[in-house]
Amino acid sequence: MEERKLAVLRAIVDDYVQTHEPVGSKALVDRHSLGVSSATIRNDMSALEEDGYISAPHTSAGRIPTDKGYRLFVDKLNSVKPMSAPERKAIQTFLDQAVDLDDVMNRTVRLLSQLTKQVALVQYPSLGRSVVRHVELVNSGSSKLLLILIANTGRIEQRTVDLVHSVSEDFLHDLRTRLNVALDGQLFTEVPDRLIGLSDNFQLDQRPAVNTIIATILDTVVTQSEERVVVGGTSNLARVGEDFTATVGPVLEALEEHVVLLRLFGEAAAPDSLTVRIGHENSVEELQRASVVTVGYGSGDQALATMGILGPTRMDYAGSMGAVRAVARYVGQILQDQ
Amino acid sequence: MEERKLAVLRAIVDDYVQTHEPVGSKALVDRHSLGVSSATIRNDMSALEEDGYISAPHTSAGRIPTDKGYRLFVDKLNSVKPMSAPERKAIQTFLDQAVDLDDVMNRTVRLLSQLTKQVALVQYPSLGRSVVRHVELVNSGSSKLLLILIANTGRIEQRTVDLVHSVSEDFLHDLRTRLNVALDGQLFTEVPDRLIGLSDNFQLDQRPAVNTIIATILDTVVTQSEERVVVGGTSNLARVGEDFTATVGPVLEALEEHVVLLRLFGEAAAPDSLTVRIGHENSVEELQRASVVTVGYGSGDQALATMGILGPTRMDYAGSMGAVRAVARYVGQILQDQ
DNA sequence: GACTGGCACTCGAGCAGTATGACTGCCAGA
DNA sequence: TCTGGCAGTCATACTGCTCGAGTGCCAGTC
C-alpha cells in the first residue's frame, strides 16, 4: 500500500477520534498538510473504501474508519505514546501510597480510568501464579475456625470452617506449623500435592478435623482460580458526545458479568505485551462495538494477571496503550516489593 | 387533608411509577375505582398542585408527583411491601452460599440490584463497631512484616510493615501473643487504649520494632474508619424508558466517589430502621434527581453499617423498602454467625 | 355544599414539505 | 498522475399544520 494512502488513513482516524464526526476530503486537506488537493484525496479515500478500511455512513457524508481500518492503524501506523516524565512520576507517587493489595488494585483502576478517560479493568494477581506465604488458623468460637491463606502478592483468601467438635489450641498450633512447613514458598498450583499424606501425622481422632480443613484449603485454591476483577470509570461510558451513549446499557451489563470480563482478558499475557482487540475482534457480543487494550503485569518475566481499558472503537489507541503499559509496569514493581 | 385527595395522590404516584408518563384525570378514573367523576378528580388535582404535591410539565399534560408528593406518599400512604416466602427463601439460599465476607458483600449487592432493579450500595461492616478476633504477624522476607487484623465480622485488614532490622521468630511469637492477649475481643475503638504501655514488656533494643508495629496498627484502625463501599447494578441506570438516562453520567461519576457514597449513607442507622431520601433531600448535588433507600444492618440491635439502593425519584418505594429490609436482615444474621 | 357534565382553550407531538449545505464521483484538462 | 469544476445525492434543520390529550371553569343537579 502506498505511503500516501496510509497517511490519509492515519489522518482520518486522528480527525475522527477527535471530532467524533465523519471526515470529508476537504476538511482533511484543511487540517493536515498532505501536499495534494482534495480531489486526489477523494481518489485515495475511494480506494481505501474499496479495500474496506473506511466507510461512509451515508452518501453525502464523510468517511469513518472501519474496524479493519483501526486494525491497520494500530498495527502499522502508530507507535505507543510513552508517558511524560511528570506523568510517570505522578503514577508512581499515587500508587506508592497504597497500604495493601486491595488499595493497590483500587488505585490502579482509578488511575487507568482517569489517564485514559475510559473504563478500566484490573484483575487481581492470579492465585495460580502466586506462592503461598503463610497459612493461618484462628479459633472462632465453639467449633468454628477461620482459615486464612496469604499469597506473596499480598492477596488474602479467607474461609470459615465448620467442625463437628471444637479443637484445642495445641492441636491448632501443631496443624498450623505442619501446614506452613508443607506449603510456605510453594506455588498455589502445587498445594494439592503437598497436602497428600499430611493427616497421617495426626492421631486417629484428630484426622476428621484435619481432613475437613484440608478439604477447605483445596476448595479455596481451586474455586478461587475463578479470578477477581475490579472495574472502574464506568462514568466515562456516558460522556457527552459519545455515540457510545446509546449502547451504554448493554455494555454496563456485560461489565457486571465477571465471567465475561475474564473471557475478555483471555489468556494472561506476558508482562509488557500489549494486546488490542478492536470491535468485532471481541468475542463478547455486547462489546463488539468496543475496543479493549490489555497488558499482562507481573514481576520480572512472570505474569501475575492482566489489566486494561475498554472504550469505543473510536479511542486514542496510542495514548491508551502508553498509559496501560506504564501503569502495569509500576504495579508489577510494587507487587514485587511486597 | 381529606382522605380522597390522599387516594388521588397515591393513584398518581402508582400510575406514574408504572407508566413513566404524566397522568391525567381521565386516565386516573379509568384505571382506579375512585367512585367519582374525572371533573371531581380535576378539582382535587388542582388542590394538590396548589399545595405543591404534584406539578404539570406543561399546560396540556397530566400531572407528575413532586419530591414533596413522594415524601407524603412514603410517609403517610404506603406501607413497606414484605417479601413473599419464596423470595425470602431465595435470598437466604443465595446468601448462604457465600464463602467469605467479600463474597457476602458481593452477593448482597447483586441481590439488592436484581430485586429492586436499581443501583445497590453496600457498606462493609464498620471496623469501629467490630471486635478484634485475631492479630497476626507474618515475616515476609528481609526486614518486612505482614500485619493482619481480623474482625469478628470476617473483615480483614492487612498492612506491610517496614522495619529497620530483621526480627527473630521468637520475638514475633512473643509480640503476637501479647497483642492477642491485649486486643482479642476488644472493640476496635478501644484498641489505642489497650496498646498503651505494651512495649514496656520488651527489651530496649526491641522497642523500636514494637513501636513501629503498634503505630501501623493504630494507623490501620484510624484510617480504615474511612469505610469501604461496594456498588453494583449500575446498568440499571441505563434502562430504556428511564428519563434518568440523560443524567446517568453525573450519577455514575458521583457513585465513583466513595466519599460521596459515605455521605449518602450518613449516620449509620440502627438495624431495621429504613431511611428514605427523596430528590433534593439528598445533599449530594448530582443525586438531587435520585432517591436513596437505606437501612442499617447488624446483629442484634448493634448496627454494623448501612446498605441501600439508589434510583430515580420515580421508583417503587414500597417494593424497594421491603427488599432492602429483607436483605439487610439476612446479612445481619449471617455476620452474626461468622 | 359537593359533585357532575359540558365546553372552550392551550399546547406539545407528529407529520409533510422545503431549503440548505456538505460531500462524493466523474470528467476533461494540465 | 494530479487538479479544478460541476452535477448529483442525501441527511439535517426548519416551517407550518393538524390532532388530541388534558385542563379550568361554569352552570346545573342531588
pLDDT tens for A59-72 read 888 999 999 999 99
DSSP state of B259: H
Determine the protein residue whose CA lies at the shortest distance from the C1' of C12.
B60
Look over chain A and give the mean of its residue pLDDT values, rounded to a whole number: 89
Least reliable range by pLDDT among B168-172, B242-246, B265-269: B242-246
In a 13 Å sphere around the CA of B97, the CA atoms on its Cβ side amount to 10
Q: Which residue has the cell 478501644?
A: B190
CB atoms within 10 A of CB A121: 26
Region B210-225: mean pLDDT is 88
Residues 6 or more apart whose Cβ sits within 8 Å of residue B166: B142, B143
Q: Which residue of B has its CA nearest to A109?
A: B256
List chain B residues with CB under 8 Å of A99.
Answer: 159-160, 220, 223
Q: Is the pLDDT of residue A246 over 70?
A: no
Q: Is the pLDDT of residue A242 over 80?
A: no
Q: Which residue has the cell 498538510?
A: A33
Tens-place pLDDT, residues B84-119: 999 999 999 999 998 889 899 999 999 999 999 999
Residue pair A188/A151 in contact by the 8 Å Cβ criterion: yes
Where residue B241 falls among pLDDT bands split at 50, 70, 90?
low
Q: Is B102 helix (H, G, I), strand (E, B) or coil?
A: helix
Q: Is the pLDDT of residue B226 over 80?
A: no
Give B23 or A139, the one with higher predicted confidence: B23
CA distance A77 to chain B (A): 33
Q: Is the Cβ pair A256, B249 closer than 8 Å?
A: no
Q: Is the Cβ pair B338, A237 closer than 8 Å?
A: no
Region A48-69: mean pLDDT is 92
List chain B residues with CB under 8 Å of A248.
Answer: 238, 248
Nucleotide nearest to A60 (CA to C1'): C23
CA atoms of A14 and B127, how far apart (whole Å) = 50
Q: Is the pLDDT of residue A162 over 70?
A: yes
CA atoms of A262 and A128, how far apart (whole Å) = 15
- Output the DSSP codes for A112-179: HHHHHSSEEEEEPPPGGGSBEEEEEEEE-STTEEEEEEEETTS-EEEEEEE-SS---HHHHHHHHHHH
Pick left, alpha or beta for residue B142 (phi over 0 → left; psi -120 to 50 → alpha; otherwise beta). left
Of B101, B158, B232, nearest to A100 by CB-CB distance is B158
Tens-place pLDDT, residues B275-319: 999 999 988 888 888 999 999 998 777 888 999 999 999 999 999
Q: What is the CA radius of gyration of chain A?
A: 26
CA atoms of B72 and B281, how far apart (whole Å) = 13
Where residue B243 falls among pLDDT bands split at 50, 70, 90?
low
Interface of A with B (CB under 8 A): 99-101, 133-134, 136, 138, 140, 146, 148, 150, 154, 156-160, 220, 223, 232-235, 237-240, 248-250, 252-253, 255-256, 338
Q: Which residue of A has its CA nearest to B242?
A: A249
CA atoms of B163 and B310, how far apart (whole Å) = 45
DSSP state of A57: S
Q: Is the Cβ pair B100, A160 closer than 8 Å?
A: yes
Tens-place pLDDT, residues B164-178: 888 888 999 999 999
The DSSP bridge pattern shows strands A274-278 and A132-139 to be unpaired
Region B112-128: mean pLDDT is 94
Region A247-252: mean pLDDT is 82
Q: Is the pLDDT of residue B212 over 70?
A: yes
How far out from the chain centre does Cα B211 lie? 36
Of A156, A158, A234, nearest to B234 by CB-CB distance is A234
Q: Which residue of B has its CA nearest to A251?
A: B235
CA atoms of A250 and B6, how far apart (whole Å) = 39
Tens-place pLDDT, residues A214-228: 999 999 988 766 678
Contacts 24+ apart (CB under 8 A), A211-215: A212/A161, A212/A162, A212/A163, A213/A137, A213/A145, A213/A147, A213/A161, A213/A175
CA atoms of B194 and A44, how far apart (whole Å) = 78
Of B101, B146, B235, nearest to A252 by CB-CB distance is B235
Please give the pLDDT value at position A1. Answer: 60
List chain A residues with CB under 8 Å of B111.
Answer: none
Please give the pLDDT value at position B108. Answer: 97
CA atoms of A313 and A66, how far apart (whole Å) = 9
Please give the pLDDT value at position B228. Answer: 86
Determine the protein residue whose CA lies at the shortest distance from the C1' of D4.
A39
Helices (H), A243-316: 248-256, 258-265
Please give the pLDDT value at position B258. Answer: 81
Where residue B246 falls among pLDDT bands split at 50, 70, 90?
low
Q: Is the pLDDT of residue B225 over 70?
A: no
**Interatomic CA–C1' length for residue A315 and nucleotide D13, angstroms:** 30
Q: Is the pLDDT of residue A46 over 80?
A: yes
In 3D, which of A236, A241, A240 has the Cα closest to residue A251?
Answer: A236
Residues 6 or more apart whose Cβ sits within 8 Å of residue B318: B78, B79, B80, B81
Protein contacts on strand D: list nucleotides below 7 Å from a Cβ: 2-5, 8-11, 20-26
Nucleotide nearest to A41 (CA to C1'): D2
Give B154 or A1, the one with higher predicted confidence: B154
Tens-place pLDDT, residues A287-328: 888 999 999 998 777 888 999 999 999 999 999 999 999 999
Look over chain B and give the mean of its residue pLDDT values, rounded to a whole number: 89
- Output the DSSP codes for A272-285: T-EEEEEGGGSSSG
Residues 6 or more apart whose Cβ sits within 8 Å of residue A42: A25
Backbone angles phi, psi at B287, to 5 degrees: -105, 20
Q: Is the pLDDT of residue B332 over 90?
A: yes
Q: Is A184 helix (H, G, I), strand (E, B) or coil?
A: coil
CA atoms of A214 and A206, how far apart (whole Å) = 13
Q: Which residue of B has its CA nearest to A98?
A: B159
Q: Which residue has the cell 505482614?
A: B146
